[in-house]
Amino acid sequence: MKITADQEKLQQDILSGKYRDYYLEYGRKSSDDTDNQKNSISYQKSENTRFALREGLPIASITVTGFCTDGIISERHSGFKENVKLTFGANNMVQYRVDRPKFYQLVQLLNKGCFKGVIFLCWDRASRNKGDDTIIRKLMKAGIDVRFTLANYDKTSSGELHMDVDGMFAAHHSRVTSEKVKLTFRESRDNGLWTNRAPVGYLNIGSMGEKPLDPVRAPIIKQLFEKAATGEWSLVDLARWATEQGFTMQPMRRRRTEDEILAEEEDDVRLKIAAIERVPTDNSIHKILVNRFYTGRVPNNDGEWVPSNSHEAIVPDEVFNTVQEQLRKKNKGIHYIEVLDHPLRRIAYCGDCSRVYTPYEQKGIIYYGSRCKEGCTNTNKSINFDYIAGKVGELIHSLSFTKEELADIDARANTDIALLETKRFNQLEAGERRKKKIREDLAYLNANRLTLLRSGVYTPELLAAEDAKLNLELELLKNEEDASDVSMRETVKEIVKLSELLENVAVVYDLAKPQEKDRIIRIIFSELTLSGNTLQYKVKKGFEPLAARFTPTYDPIGWLSELLNYGESVAISIKELSTYADLVGTP
């Protein structure tokens, strides 16, 4: 902070004792007690000034930049918070840090005898923690005249007790307030609510229970995920494309300078700092793409992502997971001048601590080593390629339908499948009715927009959010209808075709070279995890109907009802396997 000549002379006058017969006033606005009238700086100023006039206490008419104005100090800080770190020095000296900068300057000047005393509104405006209590009490014992507008502590044991009680209740009030806030946040997180500011793509309207979609930014974010999922767009390209679409990050204010932090409370410098909408960078795009919030989830108190009751998803889980896979592929260490073309890179992980198995070559043999986290119980921290490739081969062979399963599917062709198709048609009819209702709601909003705004039923932001929400529901229903526009029989034929193709590719896999095995594995699996001798896996979505047969909750009939959700993914998997089969000469 630059000090002018006048300010320097004023500080010299203060230190020389020119104002030792004068008082200062101190007001503090607490960040943990916003609803208390005593928390108002203007109220504290008026009451303290009236008390000074009534008691004939002269206030030092000085203005020190970053400290006081006309002898009145105002500060924003929670009096309950304190720095618990202690410093021990020579001569039995114990020190601790005072986190309130203006309060620190005040007690320092009072200790030097630069002022006769200070006026607080009441005890809890001076302090709410034991450390600052001690400082005030020591100043009082040293002869500093500390006055309280709303309390009078006489110099007797009763006065001391009165002061102790006020200090105790002030600290207790802050503890209760802190506990209430923490409990509210915990309960909110347990109920699936987002307790922080929502990221870009959502509107912050001051409620934990409602984070509506940003009608301008949400559609662009959805397209960002879709483009990233293809693996053909770099983060720099995505940032450039988003900028061309007019996409900007949420308006944010810059950090306050030291002078602005020490400015008078009533100035409210933060309101004078303009919020700026910045264009996205590759780093900000990366933060968006890895944020699971966009899948309609929030972290609970255990850090697990659970379905949200505060906001809707912008992207489905399948797209989000595909994006993470593409980002992992591009996440290469900068210390490698040239990344070696080893198979199974960044697809095999430790099943206990999730650390990646990194390939390395030794005496012509490819090994995989995992630098597991401390305390990891996985005993198999180093494996060779043949070991893991053999286990994956067994999985590929087992994914195809057996002859008995194919016969069972064929037997159901005229019974269960027919019933499921009837159910699908009923769902389509229900979806059509829902679309009609949404179109009517949209028509009502558009026809009565002015009336709804004037009557206060909606604010402009909420009206835009409601409009975006209805359009998004309409789009989702259309997507579901498009996904269902294939008969159940055709979808069953496709999954049987995929099974047969997988059976042929399994034979090719056994004879393939390491790089060819890697290509087959990446078509079928998204992740492999190894713990001891147990290999777990996640398959691509197209293969999920085949892998679902091995889950404990597998329903030999019910899986057919979910099959339509996999139609597009099954078709993609067939195309990928067919392309590879043509490439290597499938028998």
In angstroms, rounded to a whole number, what is the distance separating the alpha carbons of residues 73 and 266?
A: 11
Residue 418 in this model has a pLDDT that exceeds 50? yes
Q: What pLDDT is recorded for position 18? A: 92
At 202, phi and psi to the nearest 5?
Answer: -130, 155
Per-residue pLDDT averaged across 363-374, rounded?
82
For 411-555, list the strands marked E by DSSP: 525-531, 534-539
Average of per-residue pLDDT values in the chain: 80
In angstroms, rounded to a whole number, what is the distance separating the alpha carbons of residues 538 and 521?
A: 11
CA 334 to chain centre: 27
Per-residue pLDDT averaged across 134-141, rounded?
89
What's the pLDDT band for 258 if we cut at 50, 70, 90?
Answer: low
Per the structure block, which two tokens stand in for 177? 């307030």
User: Of 283, 288, 310, 314, which is closest to residue 299 (Cα–Cα)?
Assistant: 310
Q: Which range is least confidently modeled, 394-398, 411-415, 570-574?
A: 411-415
Angle between helices 488-511 and 514-524 (to 10 degrees): 160
Per the structure block, which two tokens stand in for 229? 């999922």
Write the CB contacts of 148 (distance below 8 Å, at least 6 apart in sequence).
Answer: 119, 120, 121, 122, 123, 126
Per-residue pLDDT averaged across 464-479, rounded?
76
Share of the chain above pLDDT 70, in %: 79
Other beta carbons less than 10 A from residue 68's beta carbon: 22
Residue 288 in this model has a pLDDT that exceeds 90? yes
Q: Which long-range contacts (CB under 8 A, 24 or more apart) does 178-182 make?
A: 178/32, 178/80, 181/32
Q: What pLDDT is recorded for position 195? A: 86
Per-residue pLDDT averaged across 452-469, rounded?
77
Q: What pLDDT is recorded for position 334? A: 47
User: Of 135, 74, 152, 67, which is closest to residue 105 (Cα–Cα)?
Assistant: 67
Q: Is 427 exposed, middle or buried (0-12, 13-18, 19+ CB in 10 A)?
A: middle
What's the pLDDT band for 20 if we cut at 50, 70, 90?
Answer: very high
- If you average pLDDT over each of 252-266, 268-282, 550-564, which comes out highest? 268-282
User: Of 119, 78, 120, which is closest to residue 100 (Cα–Cα)?
Assistant: 78
In angstroms, rounded to a whole number, what is the distance separating the alpha carbons of residues 59 and 75?
A: 18
Q: What pLDDT is recorded for position 487? A: 57
Angstrom distances, CA of residue 180 to CA of 183, 274, 287, 303: 5, 33, 32, 21
Is 429 or 164 the better-scoring residue by pLDDT? 164
Q: Which range is least confidently modeled, 100-114, 185-199, 219-233, 479-493?
A: 479-493
What's the pLDDT band for 551 if we cut at 50, 70, 90?
Answer: low
Residue 405 in this model has a pLDDT that exceeds 50? yes
Q: What pLDDT is recorded for position 200? A: 92
Residue 32 in this model has a pLDDT that exceeds 70? no
What structural domains and CATH numbers belong to the chain?
Answer: 5-173 (3.40.50.1390), 191-331 (3.90.1750.20), 403-422+486-584 (no CATH)
Residue 114 in this model has a pLDDT that exceeds 90? yes
What's the pLDDT band for 97 if we cut at 50, 70, 90?
Answer: low
- pTM > 0.85: no
Q: What pLDDT is recorded for position 335? A: 47
In angstroms, rounded to a whole number, what is the distance separating the alpha carbons of residues 357 and 51?
A: 72
Is 177 or 199 the better-scoring residue by pLDDT? 199
Positive/negative CA dihedral, 482, 488, 494, 496: positive
Per-residue pLDDT averaged across 99-104, rounded?
82
Residue 86 in this model has a pLDDT that exceeds 90? no
Per-residue pLDDT averaged across 412-420, rounded?
55
Q: What pLDDT is recorded for position 565? A: 66
**CB 50, CB 71: distance < 8 Å:** no
On the CB side of 154, CA atoms within 13 Å amount to: 3
Residue 104 in this model has a pLDDT that exceeds 80? yes
Summarize pLDDT for 198-251 with one digit per residue, the tens.
999 999 888 888 899 999 999 999 999 999 999 888 898 999 999 999 999 888
- If you average pLDDT over each of 34-48, 110-124, 491-505, 546-560, which comes out highest? 110-124
Per-residue pLDDT averaged across 459-487, rounded?
69
**CB 30, CB 78: distance < 8 Å:** yes
**CB 502, CB 546: distance < 8 Å:** yes
Positive/negative CA dihedral, 58, 63, 65, 66: positive
Write the CB contacts of 399 (distance below 8 Å, at least 6 apart in sequence).
Answer: 499, 502, 524, 539, 543, 546, 547
Residue 531 in this model has a pLDDT that exceeds 90? no
- Helix (H), strand (E), coil (C) string for 478-490: HHHHHHCCCCHHH
Q: What is the dihedral of CA 127, 130, 131, 134, to 10 degrees?
A: 90
CA 461 to chain centre: 23
Q: Which long-range contacts (CB under 8 A, 24 or more apart) does 432-436 make?
A: 434/473, 434/477, 435/474, 435/477, 435/478
**CB 231, CB 214: distance < 8 Å:** no
- If you average pLDDT over each of 150-164, 310-324, 354-368, which comes out highest? 310-324
At 20, phi and psi to the nearest 5?
Answer: -70, -15
Q: What pLDDT is recorded for position 417? A: 54
In angstroms, rounded to a whole number, what is the distance separating the alpha carbons of residues 211 and 310?
A: 6
Q: What is the dihedral of CA 73, 78, 79, 81, to 10 degrees?
A: -140
